[in-house]
Amino acid sequence: MALNFFDQFMSPTLFGIPLIALALTLPWILFPKPSSRWLNNRMLALQSWFINGFAQQIFQPINLGGHKWAALLTSLMIFLITINMLGLLPYTFTPTTQLSMNMAFAVPLWLATVIIGMRNQPTHALAHLLPEGTPTPLIPILIMIETISLFIRPLALGVRLTANLTAGHLLIQLIATAALVLLPLMPTVAILTGALLLMLTLLEVAVAMIQAYVFVLLLSLYLQENV
């Protein structure tokens, strides 16, 4: 029984072909396309309002040099939110529960921010490894600690997104299984368990959006340090 709970995190296959590519492509098909009309419909207006508000909030504290990342980080934000929300539907697969895919997003973007900082302002970038006023005997230890904390950033990005979504999906499946088992034995308890499942599902919708926002927000903070 315990193994069945983790089957939902396995990449589905059809005739031996992994369908994760289809799961990654599907969100882009659902987005409304821009129109040539002067007045857009409500869906396009809502999408434009969301993108503009998010871009202003994220890139307001960043220098003009970092605004080149606006399209990339905004697209990543919308993509992660859509994947996370689609993964809450029944009989669907959530690619962001795979640590390998999240690391494939986190490592290149984090590395790009580090390279930009080393290229544009190497002195300022290296100064983060040693806080000002550090006692001389602690300099080697602090440099090692700051270097480790620098290289652990992409791992923290990927693990945070994977762990939160995986834990939420497991909780939903556990409570749903408990409600189904208790229904013929104790209907009242099963109804209360179903109400708890509904509240947990609403919480997971919020977590799906918040985790995508946190992922992009931390990347923008790394970019802010190096621009």
> What mean pLDDT is reported for the chain?
84
d(CA 193, CA 200): 10
In this prediction, residue 7 has a pLDDT band, given cuts at 50, 70 and 90, of: low
173 pLDDT higher than 50: yes
What pLDDT, in 10s, does the model give residues 63-121?
Answer: 887 888 888 998 899 889 989 988 888 878 888 888 888 999 999 999 999 998 888 88
Q: Structure pTM?
A: 0.84
d(CA 147, CA 129): 6
The domain limits of the chain are 54-130+137-226
Residues 6+ apart with CB under 8 A from 121: 226
pLDDT score for 141? 86
CA 142 remoteness from chain centre:
30
